[in-house]
Structures are given as C-alpha cells and as structure tokens.
C-alpha cells in the first residue's frame, strides 16, 4: 500500500492533510486513515462537464476516505465523521469543489475482512494510500480474491436489499391509494434507501448505515451515470421534491406540520421506480461480471 500523496496537486494535498488533521483532532483513537477510490488510483475527475438534452452535467470525483479506529462505538465515529464532512463542505460549491465521503471500521473487523478475502477491503488494501498510521497495528495480509465467494455475497446482499426496497415501494403505493400521503412519502424514502444499499453492497460488499439520501446517492453515483437522472437538481422544483423526500424519514413520522400532497407523490413515484430499474440492471451486470472472473 502506498503512503504518499505527492502525486496529487498541491491544493488536493492541502485539503487531504486538513481532513486528516480534523479526524485526528476529533477521533484520537484513530489507527489508520486510508485514501481509496479514484484519488488513490490517480484517475479522478477534478471537474468535467458534458451536455445531456441541452443540460450541462458536472462530474467531480469525491475524496473517498476510510477511517479505522480501535475499540470505539461505530455509531459515534460515524456521527463525528458526518460532522466533519458537513463542516468541510460548508460554503463550498457542489459544481466546483471536491466533496468527501468517509466510511469507518474497527481495526479488528477490517483485518478479519481482509483475511476473509472480502472484495471491498482487499481492493482498498491493494489500491489505497495510507494518510495516517498510528503504528500500533499491522494490516492483515490480503488473501487472493475468490470471485465465487464474492458473487455469492453480492447476490445475497442484492436479493435482500432489493426485495426490501420493493416492499417499501408497494407500501408507498398502498398508502397513496388510501390518501395517506405522509406515510407514502416515508415508504418512498425507505425504498430509495434500500435501493442505494443494494447498489453499495453489490459493488463493495459493505455499507455503513445511512439515512441521508444526499450522502447515499452521492456514494453510488460513480457506479452508473444513469443514477444522476433519478433526482436531478436542475430546477427549484426538482430540488424541492428531493428535499421533501429526504425530510420524510423523520418529519413524515414526527412532524404534524409536515405537508405532502398527492401531486408530490405523483411526481416522486416514477423517480423511485426509475431508481428501482437502474438498481436492478447495474447490480445484475456487476454480479455477472463477478461470475465471468471466476
């Protein structure tokens, strides 16, 4: 595993060093901080623009960073990292600046996953760049990938999460037909959450618990350009609908003033159905890819 980011431009090195400092300040029990993904492979997109149907689409690669801690509550670590993400991107421009996506693991679990040959972890061990090492632990040796095992794991994850998502979508349609729009909105949120989980698990064999649809959608966009067509943010109305769907996870259950109309659900259901169809297609393609590598 590499241990230098000298190949990156100075401004990217500065931002990554800032993120490392902030993680260590807030999580002193950190054992490793590892850069993975496109910035580790040096095939990132700083800022790319293409036009689809007359609309400019901006592509910017994320900083994908794994934070490995020892003996900490993972939910607490996740909350701290979410706060760092939010603070890092505050007052920045989604069309120009590089966002960060943190994931977190315990050192014992991470090493066990490497020893078991789990795809996501072994890829990180192979391609990642160590940004910080406490030198208290050694990373386990990477076992040769067994794509038959990978395929079986991915298929199992996909079947579970895709079925769960479909059931939430059916629930949304049930409540919609009963004119119970708040519960329909909550079920649409849960359907989206599980479709995104299905994608993350199929492609990486791991997924942190996450209810924020902005972060979930951002974490999977790299796997298919079509995912960006589900919830475009090109108009105020599109942004309003997505914000409403995000808020439904909490507000549809607990806020008596949360307002969802029939028109809102009419507009959201086709989007969730599109996400369903894209999820099925790209996950089945990925599982087939694993089969071909056996």
DSSP codes of every residue in the chain: -B---TTS-HHHHHHHHHHHHHHHHH-TTEEEEEEETHHHHT---SSEEEEETTEEEEE---EEEEEEESS--HHHHHHHHHHHHHHHHTT--TTTSPPEEEEEEEHHHHHHHHHTT-HHHHHHHHH-EEEEE-SS--PPPPPPP-HHHHHHHHHHHHHHHHHHHHHHHHHHHHHHHTT-HHHHHHHHHHHHHHHHHHHHHHHHS-------HHHHHHHHGGG-GGGGGTS--SSHHHHHHHHHHHHHHHHHHH-TT----HHHHHHHHHHHHHHHHHHHHHHHHHHHHHHHT-
What pLDDT, on a 0 to 100 scale, did the predictor assign at position 39? Answer: 95
165 within a domain of the structure (yes/no): yes
What pLDDT, on a 0 to 100 scale, did the predictor assign at position 95? Answer: 67
218 within a domain of the structure (yes/no): yes
212/155 same-domain check: yes
Whole-number Å distance between alpha carbons of 103 and 23: 12
194/248 same-domain check: yes
83/170 same-domain check: no
The domain tally of the chain equals: 2
pLDDT in tens, the chain (294 residues): 899 999 999 999 999 999 999 999 999 999 999 999 899 999 898 876 665 555 556 678 889 999 999 999 999 999 999 999 989 988 777 667 888 989 999 999 999 989 887 878 888 988 999 999 999 999 998 777 778 888 998 999 999 999 999 999 999 999 999 999 999 999 999 999 999 999 999 998 877 677 889 889 988 988 998 999 999 988 999 999 999 999 999 999 999 999 999 999 999 999 999 999 999 999 999 999 998 886
204/277 same-domain check: yes
What pLDDT, on a 0 to 100 scale, did the predictor assign at position 147? Answer: 84
CATH of the domain at 46: 3.30.460.10
128/231 same-domain check: no
Check: CB of residue 34 under 8 Å from CB of residue 20.
no
280/164 same-domain check: yes
Answering whether pTM is above 0.75, one says no
189/117 same-domain check: no
3 within a domain of the structure (yes/no): no
Question: Which of 133, 166, 192 is the last residue before a domain boundary?
Answer: 133
What pLDDT, on a 0 to 100 scale, did the predictor assign at position 16? Answer: 97
What is the domain extent for residue 125?
Answer: 10-133
140 within a domain of the structure (yes/no): no
225 within a domain of the structure (yes/no): yes
CATH of the domain at 209: 1.20.120.330
276 within a domain of the structure (yes/no): yes
45/119 same-domain check: yes
Question: Which of 90, 109, 133 is the last residue before a domain boundary?
Answer: 133
117/170 same-domain check: no
34/119 same-domain check: yes
151/109 same-domain check: no
119 within a domain of the structure (yes/no): yes
Question: Which of 133, 164, 184 is the last residue before a domain boundary?
Answer: 133
What pLDDT, on a 0 to 100 scale, did the predictor assign at position 58? Answer: 63
114/243 same-domain check: no
Report CA dihedral (290, 101, 27, 86) to the nearest 10 degrees. Answer: -160
4 within a domain of the structure (yes/no): no
């Amino acid at each position: 595993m590499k241990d230098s980011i000298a190949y990156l431009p100075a401004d990217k090195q500065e931002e990554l060093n800032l993120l490392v400092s902030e993680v260590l300040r807030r999580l002193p029990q950190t054992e490793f901080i590892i850069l993975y993904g496109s910035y580790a492979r040096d095939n990132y997109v700083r800022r790319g623009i293409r036009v689809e149907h007359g609309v400019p689409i901006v592509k910017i690669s994320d900083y994908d960073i794994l934070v490995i801690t020892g003996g900490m509550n993972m939910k607490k670590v996740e909350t701290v990292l979410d706060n760092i993400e939010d603070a890092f991107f505050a007052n920045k421009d989604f069309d120009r600046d590089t966002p960060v996506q943190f994931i977190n693991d315990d050192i014992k679990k991470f090493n066990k996953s490497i020893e078991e040959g789990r795809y996501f972890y072994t890829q990180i061990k192979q391609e990642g760049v160590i940004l910080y090492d406490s030198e208290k632990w050694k990373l386990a040796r990477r076992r040769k990938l067994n794509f038959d095992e990978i395929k079986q794991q991915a298929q199992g994850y996909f079947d579970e999460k895709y079925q769960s998502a479909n059931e939430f979508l059916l629930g949304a349609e049930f409540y919609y037909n009963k004119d119970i729009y708040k519960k329909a909105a909550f079920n649409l949120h849960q359907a989206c959450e599980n479709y995104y989980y299905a994608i993350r698990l199929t492609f990486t064999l791991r997924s942190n618990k996450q209810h924020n649809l902005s972060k979930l959608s951002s974490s999977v966009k790299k796997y298919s350009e079509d995912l960006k067509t589900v919830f475009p943010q090109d108009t105020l109305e599109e942004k309003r609908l997505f914000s409403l769907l995000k808020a439904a996870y909490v507000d549809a259950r607990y806020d008596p003033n949360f307002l969802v109309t029939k028109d809102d659900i009419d507009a959201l259901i086709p989007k969730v159905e599109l996400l369903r169809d894209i999820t099925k297609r790209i996950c089945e393609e990925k599982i087939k890819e694993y089969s071909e590598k056996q």
